[in-house]
Every structure is written in C-alpha cells, then in structure tokens.
Structure 1
C-alpha cells in the first residue's frame, strides 16, 4: 500500500498541473473552438483509469511478481480500448474538425502513460 501512496502523492499534483495548463491553453488560445469533451471529463477519465491500472499492477506484483510486465502490457491494451470507447461519441459527431478534441485527449493520455510506465518500471525493478 505504501507504493500506492507514493504514486498518489505524485499523480495528484501532476494531474492538477496538467489540468491547469490545458484549461488555461484551451480558454486562452482556442476561444472560438467548441470542444466536444470538457477538460475536467478528460482528466477524470485519465486519472481514474491510471489509478485503477496501477492498483492492478501492485496487486499482480504482490501475487505474481514475475508477471508484472505482462500485466502492464495487458492493462495498457485495455486502456487503449477504453480510450477508443470514450472517443466514439466524438468520432460519430458532426463536428467539422475533430483534431483539437483528439489532441486535447491524446496529449494527456500519452503523458499519463509515460507517468504510469515510469512507475511500472520502478515496480518491476524492485524485484
């Protein structure tokens, strides 16, 4: 549980800073653009998915330490599928340009993925 608290102490400020930067940039630079998803819904999605996947990785590491890397790859695949399901309403919408919305979603997606990968590698290397 100590590993989760360390992760939580870093992911919460990371999320707040990223949310603030994206919220500021979307309101300052994209005033004429109407986004399909709000910034907070994107970050709630990413934060919840990242926390659940890391809890799962900790569980796998405690019970089957040699399978943690495979679990990380599997949970990453599930997260990718969840991202596509999350974006289906956007993709089916009648918006002219979907690029700002997709960018607003995938930039934090990859930053969260990098953050989670860093902690997963630390978890695997502790063995």
Structure 2
C-alpha cells in the first residue's frame, strides 16, 4: 500500500499542474474554439482511470508478483478501450474539426501513461 500512497502523493499535484497548464493554453490560444469536452472532465477521467490502474497493479504485485507486467499491459488495453468509449460521443457529433478535441484528450492521456509507466517500472524493480 506504501507504493500506492507514494503514487497518489505524486500524481495529484502533477495532475493539478497539468490541468492548469492545459486550461491556460486552451483559454489563451484557442479562444475561438469550442471544445466538446471540458478540461476538468478530461483530467478527471484520466486521474480516476490512472488511480484504478495503478491500484490494480499494486494488488497484482502483492499477490502475483511475477504477473505484474502482464497486468500492466492488460490494463493498458482496457484504458485504451475506455478512452475510445469516452470519445465516441465526440466522434459521432456534428463538430466540424475534431482535431483540437482529440488533441486535448490524448496529450494528457500520454502524460498520465508516462507517469504510470514510470511508477510501474519502479514497482517491478522493487522485486
């Protein structure tokens, strides 16, 4: 559980900083663009999904420590599917240019994935 608390203490402030940076960029540089999803809903989605994912990794590491890498790959696939399900309303909408919305979603997706991968590697190296 100690790994999860370290992860939570790290990801929470990083998420807040990333949120405000993206909010400032979208408000300053994309004034005329109307985004389908708000910045807070994107970050809430990523934050919750990343917490669930890393919590699952810590659980697998404690019970089946040799299967942690497989659990990471499997949950990454589940996260990708959840991202597509989250984006289906945008893809089916009448929005003319979907590129800003998709970029606003996938930039934090890869940032959260990088942080989660970094902590998963640390979790695997502690064995």
CA distance in 1, matches of 2:33, 2:110: 23
Residue 16 of structure 1, CA deviation: 0.4
* RMSD of equivalent CA atoms: 0.4
Q: Deviations over 1:66-118 (max 9, x none)?
A: 00000000000000000000000000000110000000000000000000000
Question: Cα distance, 1:52 vs. partner?
Answer: 0.2
TM-score, length-normalised on structure 1?
A: 0.99
For residues 66-105 of structure 1, the aligned pairs below 5 Å read: 66-105=66-105
Partner of 1:120: 120
* CA offset digits 1:22-53 (Å, max 9, x no partner): 00000000000000000000000000000000
| CA distance in 2 between partners of 1:2 and 1:88 (Å) | 36
Aligned to 1:54: 54
